[in-house]
Amino acid sequence: MFGRCFWVVCAFLLPLTCLEAAKVANSLVRIQVTSQEPNYRAPWGSGEVIGGVGAGFIIANNRIMTNAHVVSNGRFLLVSKEGDPKPYLARVLYVAHDCDLAILTVDEPKFFAGTSALEFGGIPAIETSVSVYGYPIGGDRLSVTQGIVSRIDFQPYSHSGVDSHLTIQIDAAINPGNSGGPVMQNGKVVGVAFQGYSGDVAQNVGYMIPTPVILRFLKDIEDGRYDKYVDLSVSYHPLHNPAMRRALGLTDDDRGVIVGDVYGKGNSDGHLLAGDVLLTIDDLPIASDGTVTIDNETVEMAEVVERKFRGDKVKFTVLRDGKEQEVTVPLNHPWPFTLQANAYDEKPRFVVFGGLVFQPVDANFMAEHAPDNLRLRYYFDHFISQHLYKDREEIITISSVLSDPVNAYAGDFRYDIVDKINGQPIRKLSDVAEALKKPADYYVIEVIGQNRPLVLEKQAVDQARERILTRYGVVNEQRL
Amino acid sequence: MKRLLLLLTALLCTGHGTFAAAKPPPQPTPPPEVTADSLVRVNSTNQSYDFFRPWTKKAPSVRRGLGVVVAEDLVLVTAELVTNRSYVELENATTNAKSAADVVSVDYDSNLALLRPADKEVLKGARPLALDDSARVGERVDLIQLESNSAVAQTPGTITTINVSPYPLGQLALLTYRISSPLQGRDGSFVIPAVKDGKLLGLLMRYDSRSQTADVVPSPVIAHFLADAKAEKYEGFPRVGLGFASTRDPQLRRFIGLQDDGGVYVTAVRPGSAGEKAGLKKGDVILSVAGKNIDQDGNYDDAAYGKIPFSHLTSTLASVGDKLDFVVFRDGQKQTIPVTLEAANPELVRSEPYIFDRAPRYYILGGLVFEELSRSYLQEWGSNWPKEAPQQLVALDAFQDEDTSREPGKIVFLSQVFPTGNTVGYENLQHLVVTKVNGVPIKSLDDLAKAAAKPEGGFHKIEFDDDPPFIFLDAAEAEKSDEQIRQEYGITELKNLN
């Protein structure tokens, strides 16, 4: 079946592509985005305005599908069709940063007249040919490139930086401007082009989001809200070692993986334990390398959870203390630790007090500040793996000191992690605002590690307040 | 400068001679020259250990320097010259006679080492140099090198700064002379003596050719080292074990009610240190040490050098066992706390700052290689090791003093895994900190060796402070794979617990 399909495609390759191009041109849109990047160094500021171009395509119900990263931080969206000179104002209906997809619409009904909605196909077979449509750099008009399906695998999605989903690698180049464009085979959409490697790293490696991910997104938003992916929030390890298997009471049947860590506040917290051996997931046997077989395809065990939605459950057979038992994990919320994910469409949060800028540390902050401070980097990188979240919801740091007589000696505290203010533990940014609101003669800020307390006199802070806000153009003192 | 001045005085005197003929001008005594008799070439072949493969030494390399004869049979060099030495050789600068040498004392905190030749003939006729004790900022000194024909090459320089600064190898900051001098590269320049008026001023420990500045281990530090080296037991440079911060911030001063002008705020007291034993606490403000007032930055007014950090009083001017009075401000009161100075106690250090001159400790169990964490291990990642090395281990090393909860001991970790039939599935495990083996808490490799002798139910259970939380090894198979590792990986010794 696989072989036959391949030959059929080859025989009709040329005419089919021509047909496709004509049809896709009817559905393809060019998206011009004006976005505003938040400034994590001056978090009260409005941020830099930049422009960009991406692709999108029309799907059923007068909707346009594109990548989340095309419209992220968007302030003003214009879409235009092939053969129609008029740009139309568009708006975002749904955006899924965890799988880099977004749905737009255009309110002017005229826009969709004469267009045709594209339909979705399945997972294209390896070695079959696909066509990529979009507006990549090199010109302004529609561009089509062709490639073959090289690999189907779990891959990280670079938009959020922390999510991995099913991805299809193709050997057609995917360049800036291709993003959001459809990848077609046999007249149907088999993926959305979304990321590639720069030529310095690898040649002819492009990635597209395959239809299982796209269809899951479309199903998720059917209720009018995007609930994100749900996640087990555990780590697990293959069980290949014979001694390990025997010590755990397992036979030589190459089944089961061992849970390495269960992250607090995650869906599995209170249901699974580190050291549990997972034998089945939803009655599918788990192989010792962590894969399961669905529809004759071998996929990561996580794929079972990937296909579920908020509120669903997942059932395990677990070997715990030498006894098999059933454990049901309710999938009530997404991955709980957002600080390591790139954030979009959010304004930076901060508190300014006495010229000290307090900010929570997250991926955006780290990307902009790139601090050398070992402790801050360690807290950020190991927040989850070393369970630092048990002590604090957020990592609060003094990100900069707006120089003024009141803070003349506070320079050493930059990038230190705030532990207490006037004895109040600081576990999240709002704790800072609260602690600084309470009347006191002195505000005593204690940091983690070996440093003196940072002391600010209330009187001095009050006198400095207007001076600092005016001098540094701080238009608001906090955003929580 | 001084010589020029003398000469001018002499000229002026002769000029006036016709009018005041009665007095003959005083004969200026030229300062004694430093000759090759006080110097000896030192060639040290060094081989450092490979902390990634702790059973091997790296390729040997040779460092050549100029040692200073400080006693009839003793030669002073920097410790860096002979670090991880395999063979040290002395070469008489004039006769070219050679002899092997033993290291009598080596101190990596002060970066100094004392050598004694196996064959005393090599130092025959040598003229030991005395130590200078008069150096001040702005004075002219000479840096001494030897030409290949053994002629003494003197490069003049000026002492621009005298301060306390961190030394390259150890953990201490000690007195340092910074000298501005246009040195030329010459053979055997790893150690260059600095002299003044024919006396030893110090040994060069680093030179920046762009700014033409040399940092020198000065004579007061050398004097301390030589005195310690004479003692029956080498004690080394004492330390109090304090971290402190400036009290310049007037808001801090008012908050703690500090009336005095000076004082530094104690931010940390190392557990088990002399400071902790004496009762110093975090939050104390140190107002004076050994009768000297401490300013807001931690400096005192030294009679010779001006304002320098008070650690000069506690580490260089004082010796282990000395009792120094600390006056501290605590809870609104002044109190005097006597501190008995102690040497560094390696037992209290969880991750050693350096391991020189001895093989790293390790233990191989069924293909799993365990080591104890040290700065030397982390430095195998190269000069950018704080960012390149595993961050979990870097943090454990950097923040070890903050860990007051755990008992003293070392950090034992799985450094790598030899792929054998026994370790299938574990090949990618590395840099995991070990908490228990076979149920026994692990605070050193000795603990691990003992625990490994008692497998439970035919298995070794190794628990980590990490993910995965534990692994098992088949005890009988582990023993068999030892032979395989010896044979196939060519590792003759499967442990070093010395």
Enzyme catalytic residues of A: 69, 100, 179
Q: Are B150 and B38 in contact (CB under 8 A)?
A: no
Cβ distance of A442 and B461 shorter than 8 Å: no
Q: Which segment of A291-300, A429-438, B107-116 scores lowest on mean pLDDT?
A: A291-300
Cβ distance of B401 and A444 shorter than 8 Å: no
Cβ distance of B391 and A378 shorter than 8 Å: yes
**Chain B contact present for A382, CB below 8 A:** yes
Rounded-to-10 torsion of CA A25, A28, A29, A31: -120
Note the pLDDT of residue B20: 43
Task: Please name the residue of chain B whose CA is at the shortest distance from the CA of residue A457.
Answer: B251
Please report, as a single letter, which amino acid is at residue A46. Answer: S
Dist CA A260 CA B432 (whole Å) = 13
Q: Which of A241, A247, A374 has its CB closest to that of B398?
A: A374
Cβ distance of A457 and B254 shorter than 8 Å: yes
Q: Which of A375, A381, A452 has its CB closest to that of B245?
A: A452
Q: Which of A246, A260, A451 has its CB closest to that of B245?
A: A451
Residues 145-184 of B with CB under 8 A from A: none
User: A88: Cβ–Cβ under 8 A, 6 or more apart, which residues?
Assistant: A78, A79, A80, A106, A108, A111
Buried b (16+ CB within 10 A) or exposed e, B296-324: bebbbebeebeebbbbbbbbbbbbbeeeb
Cβ distance of B469 and A247 shorter than 8 Å: no
Residues 148-177 of A with CB under 8 A from B: none
Residues of B in contact with A260 (CB under 8 A): 467-469
Give the mean model confidence (pLDDT) for residues A423-430. Answer: 97
Residues of A in contact with B255 (CB under 8 A): 442, 444, 453, 455, 457
Phi, psi (rounded to 5 degrees) for B278: -75, -15
Residues of A in contact with B249 (CB under 8 A): 408-410, 455
Q: Are A155 and A167 in contact (CB under 8 A)?
A: yes
Instruction: Kindly list the strands in the beta sheet with A350-353, ordered across the sheet, starting from the edge strand earlier in the chain.
Output: A396-401, A356-360, A350-353, A478-479
Quote the strand ranges of B219-355, DSSP E: 242-245, 264-269, 285-289, 292-293, 299-302, 306-309, 323-330, 333-340
Nearest Cα residue to A412 out of A366, A447, A383: A447
pLDDT digits (tens), chain B, 498 positions:
344 333 333 333 333 433 444 555 566 566 667 888 999 999 999 999 999 999 999 999 999 999 999 999 999 999 999 999 999 999 998 888 999 999 999 999 999 999 999 999 999 889 999 999 999 999 999 999 998 888 899 999 999 999 999 999 888 999 999 999 999 888 778 999 999 999 999 999 999 999 999 999 999 999 999 999 999 999 999 999 999 999 999 999 999 999 888 999 999 998 889 999 999 999 999 999 999 999 999 999 999 999 999 999 999 999 999 999 999 999 999 999 999 999 988 888 899 999 999 999 999 999 999 999 999 999 999 999 999 999 999 999 999 888 766 577 999 999 999 998 889 999 999 999 999 999 999 999 999 999 999 999 999 999 999 999 999 999 999 988 888 888 888 898 999 999
Cβ distance of B267 and A243 shorter than 8 Å: no
Residues of B in contact with A452 (CB under 8 A): 245, 247, 252, 265, 267
Please return the burial class of B467, using the count of CB atoms within 10 Å of its CB with bins 0-12, 13-18 and 19+.
Answer: middle
Cα angle A372-A374-A378, degrees, rounded to a multiple of 5 = 120
**Chain B contact present for A459, CB below 8 A:** no
**Chain A contact present for B276, CB below 8 A:** no
Dist CA A56 CA A28 (whole Å) = 6
Dist CA B139 CA B120 (whole Å) = 36
Dist CA A116 CA A134 (whole Å) = 17
Please report, as a single letter, which amino acid is at residue B474. Answer: D
pLDDT tens-digit readout, A358-386: 999 999 999 999 999 999 999 999 999 99
**Chain B contact present for A246, CB below 8 A:** yes
Q: Are A474 and A402 in contact (CB under 8 A)?
A: yes
Q: Which domains does chain A have, with CATH numbers?
A: 1-219 (2.40.10.120), 234-330 (2.30.42.10), 350-479 (3.20.190.20)
H or E stretch at A8: helix A2-11
Q: Is the peptide bond before B468 cis (omega within 30 degrees of 0)?
A: yes
Q: Are B200 and B131 in contact (CB under 8 A)?
A: yes
Cβ distance of B249 and A377 shorter than 8 Å: no
Closest chain B C-alpha to A450 CA, distance in angstroms: 5
Dist CA A311 CA A334 (whole Å) = 11
pTM: 0.90
Q: Say which DSSP state A222 is in.
A: G
pLDDT tens-digit readout, A143-192: 999 999 999 888 999 999 999 999 999 998 888 889 999 999 999 999 99
Q: A15 falls in which pLDDT band (50, 70, 90)?
A: very low
Dist CA B124 CA A458 (whole Å) = 74
Dist CA B286 CA B264 (whole Å) = 5
Dist CA A427 CA A236 (whole Å) = 29
Phi, psi (rounded to 5 degrees) for B427: -55, -35
Tell me what the pLDDT averaged over chain A comes to: 91
Q: Which of B252, B471, B477 has its CB closest to that of A452?
A: B252
Cβ distance of B472 and A385 shorter than 8 Å: no
**Chain A contact present for B5, CB below 8 A:** no
Note the pLDDT of residue A176: 85
Note the pLDDT of residue A110: 92
Dist CA A277 CA A322 (whole Å) = 9
Task: Please name the residue of chain B whose CA is at the shortest distance from the CA of residue A375.
Answer: B395
Note the pLDDT of residue B308: 97
**Chain A contact present for B425, CB below 8 A:** yes
Closest chain A C-alpha to B170 CA, distance in angstroms: 21
Cβ distance of B395 and A243 shorter than 8 Å: no
Best of A257, A452, A456 to disrupt the B interface (most B CBs within 10 Å) is A452
Phi, psi (rounded to 5 degrees) for A388: -65, -20
Dist CA B305 CA B253 (whole Å) = 28
Closest chain A C-alpha to B126 CA, distance in angstroms: 51
Q: What is the DSSP string of B411-436?
A: -EEEEEE---GGGTT-TT--SEEEEE
Question: How many percent of chain A have pLDDT more than 70?
Answer: 95
Dist CA B84 CA B46 (whole Å) = 5
Residues of A in contact with B467 (CB under 8 A): 235, 260-261, 274, 385
Q: What is the DSSP string of B329-355?
A: EETTEEEEEEEE-B---GGG-SSBS--
**ipTM for the predicted complex:** 0.87
**Chain B contact present for A202, CB below 8 A:** no
**Chain B contact present for A247, CB below 8 A:** yes
**Chain A contact present for B281, CB below 8 A:** no
Cβ distance of A375 and B399 shorter than 8 Å: yes
Residues of B in contact with A403 (CB under 8 A): none
Task: Please name the residue of chain B whose CA is at the shortest distance from the CA of residue A382.
Answer: B392
Cβ distance of B473 and A243 shorter than 8 Å: yes
Closest chain A C-alpha to B423 CA, distance in angstroms: 7
Dist CA B242 CA A173 (whole Å) = 60
Buried b (16+ CB within 10 A) or exposed e, A352-363: bbbbbbbbbbbb
User: B370: Cβ–Cβ under 8 A, 6 or more apart, which residues?
Assistant: B362, B363, B364, B412, B413, B414, B415, B434, B445, B448
**Chain A contact present for B472, CB below 8 A:** yes
